[in-house]
Amino acid sequence: MTLAGASAQVPTSARYALSPVQLNVTDLTGAPASNALVTLVNTDSFARLRADQVPLSDGVARIQAPAGHYMLVASFHDEDAAGNTTATRQVVMDDLTVPSGTGGVTAFNVSEAIASDRITVGTPRPATQNSLSDEVLRTDATGATMTFSADVRGTTPLYVNAVDTPATGTLSNMVVWSGSATDYGYDLAFVSKDKVPANESYQARPAQLATVRNRLYKSPGHSSASGNMTAVLTDPGFGLSLTFRPATFGTVLTDYVLSTGEGTWSEEMTTPDHVTFTSPTDQYVAGRAYTEDWGKGPVAPTSTVVWNGRACAMCTAGGTLNIGLESLGDSGPGHSGVLLFGMPASYHLTAYRDGTRIGETTSTQPLTTTGQPLTPATYRAVADLDVGGSSLGTTSHTDLTMKYTPDAPSAGASDCDGGSETVPCQVLPMLGAHYDLAGLDLSDTSTTPRQRLHLTVDHLAVNGAGSDSPVTAATVDVSYDGGKTWQQARLTGAAGDYVASWPNSPVHSGVLPAIRVTAADAAGNTLSQTVTNAYRIGSAQ
Check if the beta carbon of residue 478 is closer than 8 Å to that of residue 489: yes
SS3 per residue for 29-54: CCCECCCEEEEEEECCCCCCCEECCC
248: left (phi over 0), alpha (psi -120 to 50) or beta: beta
CA nearest 463: which of 411, 407, 427, 409?
411
DSSP label at residue 507: G
Check if the beta carbon of residue 85 is closer than 8 Å to that of residue 79: yes
Please report the domains of the chain, with CATH numbers, ordered by start residue.
2-114 (2.60.40.10), 117-294 (2.60.40.2190), 300-537 (no CATH)
Helices in 326-412 by DSSP H: which ranges? none
CA nearest 221: which of 386, 337, 346, 437?
386
Q: Note the pLDDT of residue 340.
A: 67
* Cα distance between residue 31 and residue 233, in whole Å: 39
DSSP string, 97-155: EE-SS--S-EEEEEEGGG--EE-EEE-SS--EEEEEEEEEEEE-TTS-EEEEEEEEETT
Greatest alpha-carbon pair distance for the chain in Å reads: 94
CA nearest 299: which of 497, 448, 444?
444
Q: Note the pLDDT of residue 345.
A: 63
Q: Note the pLDDT of residue 307.
A: 58
Check if the beta carbon of residue 33 is closer than 8 Å to that of residue 24: no
* Cα distance between residue 527 and residue 517, in whole Å: 8
To the question of pTM greater than 0.95 for the whole model, the response is no
CA nearest 141: which of 192, 95, 98?
95
Q: Note the pLDDT of residue 332.
A: 82
Q: Between vectors from CA 120 to CA 119 and to CA 124, what angle results, nearest 5°?
A: 150
Main-chain phi, psi angles of 507, to 5 degrees:
-70, -15
Low-confidence ranges of the chain (pLDDT < 70): 1-14, 102, 221, 281-282, 305-310, 326, 340-345, 388-393, 412-414, 540-541
DSSP label at residue 506: G
CA distances from 269 to 235, 294, 295, 326, 337 (A): 20, 7, 8, 17, 9
Q: 73-104: b or e for each residue (b if 16 or more CB lie within 10 Å)?
A: bbbbbbeeeeeeeebbbbbbbbebebeeeeee
pLDDT in tens, 205-263: 999 999 999 999 987 767 788 999 999 999 999 999 999 999 999 999 999 999 988 88
